[in-house]
């Protein structure tokens, strides 16, 4: 007969020697796995939210058409001093020197105290305290992976990316397992279905699908510095009006009634074309790593 002391003890819940895992790990490091379905495939990546003042934005490759090139056209090259001198700016400098030489005695000197309040306002920038999105990206490209294993392999590789600046990144690199790459339902987005759904007409529009698409597209536009996406979804734009109407319709009640009425006034073709452009811009900056 086996004594009670000889019986194996009930095993405690298994815990990784490296610490927390799954949702508990992501909650601790304040980063989350994200799944984004695009026309080119379904990609896994990571997203975090931090205060804007705490982050260094992603670097972006220089565009072929630099918007600042137009200003260079009005500048001339000074061979003697090897500097670029803008003619308009130079004229202002010369005028300023003349004014300084002929300054009258009754000219009022500005009182430094007059600018104290303005200085305080500049230092207290509310935008710097807002939480903004950041993705697993590098030089304006979203790094996307088709399997959890490939994503974990990249995380452990030490390759450069924008999330490496986060103070919790070392914990992720040390602890993450492929089984941890399981995005929550709210972190799964189906951008590949948006255009087709909009083309189907108002009665077939999938409100949660379209609302979620707007959320992740805004996040991607900001994090990857995609100006066309930011402008397309900016406040007052047709796609922003669509988003507001979708949210009103989803809310139910009287607000939902008016939201549905407003949705019927939005052209399905216009909406689908607008979203097709947005998704195209996002797809163009996805860097598939497997």
Question: Given this model, what pLDDT does residue 10 score?
Answer: 44
Q: How many CA atoms lie within 13 A of 100 on its CB side?
A: 6
Average pLDDT over residues 92-119: 54
Question: Given this model, what pLDDT does residue 239 score?
Answer: 93
**243 belongs to a structural domain:** yes
**227 belongs to a structural domain:** yes
Average pLDDT over residues 151-168: 96
Find the domain containing 38 and state its range: 22-58+129-288
- pLDDT band of residue 268 (cuts 50, 70, 90) is confident
E-state strands within the chain: 31-38, 41-51, 75-78, 83-86, 131-135, 137-138, 141-144, 188-190, 286-288
**d(C-alpha 114, C-alpha 5), whole Å:** 83
> For residues 192 and 245, which has the higher predicted lDDT (pLDDT)?
192
Closest-CA residue to 175 (of 35, 290, 12, 22): 22
**67 belongs to a structural domain:** no
**37 belongs to a structural domain:** yes
Helix (H, G, I), strand (E, B) or coil at 42: strand
pLDDT digits (tens, 9 = 90+) for 6-22: 544 444 333 444 468 88
Instruction: Say if residue 135's pLDDT is above 90.
Output: yes
pLDDT digits (tens, 9 = 90+) for 209-240: 999 999 999 999 999 999 999 999 999 899 99
Question: Given this model, what pLDDT does residue 15 score?
Answer: 42
Distances (CA, A) of 41 to 134, 174, 271: 21, 28, 23
**10 belongs to a structural domain:** no
Question: Given this model, what pLDDT does residue 97 score?
Answer: 54
- pLDDT band of residue 61 (cuts 50, 70, 90) is confident
Taking phi over 0 as left and psi of -120 to 50 as alpha, with beta for the rest, 82 belongs to left
**193 belongs to a structural domain:** yes
Question: Given this model, what pLDDT does residue 170 score?
Answer: 95
Report how many domains make up the chain: 1
Q: What are 114's two structure tokens?
A: 């007059």
**6 belongs to a structural domain:** no
Closest-CA residue to 289 (of 79, 144, 77): 144
Looking at every residue in the chain, the average pLDDT score rounds to 79
Helix (H, G, I), strand (E, B) or coil at 158: coil
What whole-number percentage of the chain has pLDDT above 70? 67
Q: Say how far residue 61 (Cα) sits from the centre of its chain.
A: 16
Question: Given this model, what pLDDT does residue 71 score?
Answer: 41
Instruction: Say if residue 75's pLDDT is above 80.
Output: no
pTM above 0.85, yes or no: no
**172 belongs to a structural domain:** yes
Taking phi over 0 as left and psi of -120 to 50 as alpha, with beta for the rest, 223 belongs to alpha
């Amino acid at each position: 007969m086996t004594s009670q002391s000889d019986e194996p003890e009930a095993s405690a819940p298994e815990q990784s020697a490296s610490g927390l895992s799954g949702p508990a790990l992501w909650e601790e490091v304040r980063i989350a796995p994200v799944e984004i379905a695009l026309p080119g495939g379904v990609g896994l990546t990571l997203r975090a939210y931090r205060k804007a003042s705490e982050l260094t934005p992603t670097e972006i490759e220089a565009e072929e058409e630099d918007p600042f090139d137009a200003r260079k056209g009005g500048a001339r090259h000074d061979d003697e001093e090897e500097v670029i001198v803008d003619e308009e700016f130079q004229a202002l400098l010369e005028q300023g020197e003349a004014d300084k030489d002929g300054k009258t005695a009754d000219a009022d000197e500005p009182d430094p105290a007059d600018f104290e309040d303005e200085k305080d306002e500049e230092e207290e920038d509310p935008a710097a305290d807002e939480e903004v999105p950041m993705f697993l990206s590098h030089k304006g490209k979203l790094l996307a992976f088709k399997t959890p294993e490939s994503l974990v392999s990249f995380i452990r590789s030490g390759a450069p990316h924008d999330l490496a600046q986060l103070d919790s990144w070392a914990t992720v690199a040390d602890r993450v397992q492929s089984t941890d790459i399981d995005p929550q339902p709210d972190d799964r987005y189906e951008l590949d279905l948006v255009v087709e759904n909009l083309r189907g007409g108002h009665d077939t529009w999938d409100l949660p699908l379209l609302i979620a698409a707007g959320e992740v597209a805004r996040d991607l536009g900001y994090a990857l510095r995609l100006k066309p996406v930011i402008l397309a979804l900016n406040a007052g734009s047709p796609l922003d009006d669509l988003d507001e109407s979708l949210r009103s319709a989803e809310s139910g009640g009287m607000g939902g009634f008016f939201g549905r009425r407003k949705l019927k006034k939005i052209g399905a073709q216009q909406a689908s074309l607008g979203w097709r452009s947005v998704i195209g811009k996002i797809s163009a900056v996805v860097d598939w790593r497997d």
